Amino acid sequence: MTKIASEEAKRIIEHYLVCKDDLTYFDILKYGVSQKEAGCLLNNWHQFDRPDIYSVSSEKIYGIEHFEYDAHGRHKRGSLQRKENNLITKEMKQKAYGMLKDNDSCVISREMQSKANEDNYKNNFIYAFNTHYSKIDNYRIRLLERAGSNKIPVSMWFIAEDVTALGAHIIHRSKTGATCNLAWPLLFPEVEEIFMQSDKIDGIIYADNYYKKLTLIKRDKNAVDEFKKHNLYPNDKFLFFELHTVLISEKIQ
């Protein structure tokens, strides 16, 4: 396991740990997934590499591959949101260091120039999904090697994490007012079609740290229809927030 892969798996396990000291940190929403299968999927996680995580039940071995997506543009090396945020942080620290030579404190703010939008949100998810799906056969082989048997069934799942700054939301307007709900890539017809045709995975887990939810969706028409029934509304519009970074620094005497 490479150091980068090990750190990613460790972060996922620590960040999305479902149970600790008998306390449930995340709400678990299930569509087409039984309580037993959810328990097998979400308990006894082990760090791995390609896929990131595995868990073993008495019946099968589960492989869970993690990927991130956001609603900003991307370049050859990845997310523009991540690149710009790193540059802003570096520049603000350098500016603060210079200002503190003549001042006891300083406040610096910057606005991210990259703007989030609906098309980037959809396309980035599809890109990440397809990239990881192209490696599914390799993931399966490695899990069988880990199990030491070619006879044990393997169940592959994705865990998809929306890392859009301040989250991606949908505004639902009705006669009684407006509500702000989570955005879901699976509500795009193109994404649903890709998901349903990807028969080498059994399902997907949407991980949302802001609302503390893990949403498990089986790759099954009835499960997807049930998910849409609870989350798809007419006249919905996407809502993204513009990110402003503020750095407050004080000289230590």
In a domain, 142, yes or no: yes
Please say if the pLDDT value at position 122 is more than 90.
yes
pLDDT score for 82: 67
Please say if the pLDDT value at position 178 is more than 50.
yes
Please say if the pLDDT value at position 108 is more than 50.
yes
Number of compact structural domains in the chain:
1
In a domain, 105, yes or no: no
Please say if the pLDDT value at position 176 is more than 70.
yes
Using an 8 Å Cβ cutoff, are 49 and 2 in contact?
A: yes
pLDDT score for 22: 44
Using an 8 Å Cβ cutoff, are 62 and 247 in contact?
A: no
Using an 8 Å Cβ cutoff, are 62 and 143 in contact?
A: no
In a domain, 207, yes or no: yes
Give the phi and the psi of residue 27 in degrees, each rounded to 5: -75, 135
In a domain, 178, yes or no: yes
User: pTM for this structure?
Assistant: 0.82
Calpha distance 229→227 (Å, rounded): 5
Q: Residue 121 class from Cβ within 10 Å (0-12 exposed, 13-18 middle, 19+ buried)?
A: buried
In a domain, 192, yes or no: yes
Average pLDDT, the chain: 83
pLDDT score for 23: 44
Q: How far is CA 210 from CA 12, 25, 134, in A?
A: 15, 12, 29
Q: Angle at which helices 118-133 and 189-197 pack, to 10 degrees?
A: 10
pLDDT score for 99: 81
151 or 187, greater pLDDT: 187
Domain, as residue range, for 35 = 3-72+117-243
Using pLDDT thresholds of 50, 70 and 90, give the confidence band for residue 9. low
Q: Any long-range contacts for 178-183 (C-beta under 8 Å, 24+ apart)?
A: 180/239, 181/231, 181/236, 182/208, 182/211, 182/213, 182/231, 183/121, 183/238
Using an 8 Å Cβ cutoff, are 60 and 152 in contact?
A: yes
Interval 203-250: pLDDT, tens? 999 988 777 788 999 999 999 999 999 988 777 888 887 776 777 777
Contacts of 138 (CB under 8 A, 6+ apart): 50
Strand 23-24 versus strand 19-20 pairing type: antiparallel
The pair of structure tokens assigned to 94 is 């350098």
Q: Residue 233 class from Cβ within 10 Å (0-12 exposed, 13-18 middle, 19+ buried)?
A: middle
pLDDT score for 223: 97
Using pLDDT thresholds of 50, 70 and 90, give the confidence band for residue 18. low
Using pLDDT thresholds of 50, 70 and 90, give the confidence band for residue 1. very low
Nearest to 223 by CA among 196, 248, 246: 196
Using pLDDT thresholds of 50, 70 and 90, give the confidence band for residue 71. confident
Please say if the pLDDT value at position 13 is more than 90.
no
125 or 10, greater pLDDT: 125
User: What's 22's DSSP letter?
Assistant: T
In a domain, 47, yes or no: yes
Using an 8 Å Cβ cutoff, are 250 and 104 in contact?
A: yes
In a domain, 86, yes or no: no
In a domain, 68, yes or no: yes
